[in-house]
Amino acid sequence: MPILQLKMHPGRTIEQKKAFVREATRIVVETLVCPLESVEILITEIPKDAWATAGKLKSDG
């Protein structure tokens, strides 16, 4: 059972998320030759004030 985990900042629409999971699932099924029903995708939205790069919060710009 392939499980994909996507972590991103909030702000994508439900339509964008639906398009992502549809296309990501299609690619996984094609590439890994597995049943559609076996693909799981977890989307975690992490606010910019809880995400840092190079010692700086993303919310700080």
Q: What is the pLDDT along the chain (61 residues), one digit of tens a residue?
A: 999 999 999 999 999 999 999 999 999 999 999 999 999 999 999 999 999 999 999 999 8
- Please state the domain count of the chain: 1
Q: Is 2 a catalytic residue?
A: yes
Enclosing domain of residue 55:
3-60
Q: How many Å apart are CA 1 and CA 38, to the nearest integer?
A: 5
Determine which one of 2, 10, 35, 47 is catalytic: 2
Q: What is the CATH number of the domain that holds 52?
A: 3.30.429.10
Q: How many CB atoms lie within 10 A of CB 39?
A: 19
Give the per-residue pLDDT at 52.
97
Could you tell me the CA-to-CA distances from 12 to 19, 33, 51 in Å, in that order? 11, 29, 17
Q: Is the dihedral of CA 19, 26, 5, 39 positive or negative?
A: positive
Question: What pLDDT sits at residue 61?
Answer: 82
Residue-wise DSSP of 14-27:
HHHHHHHHHHHHHH
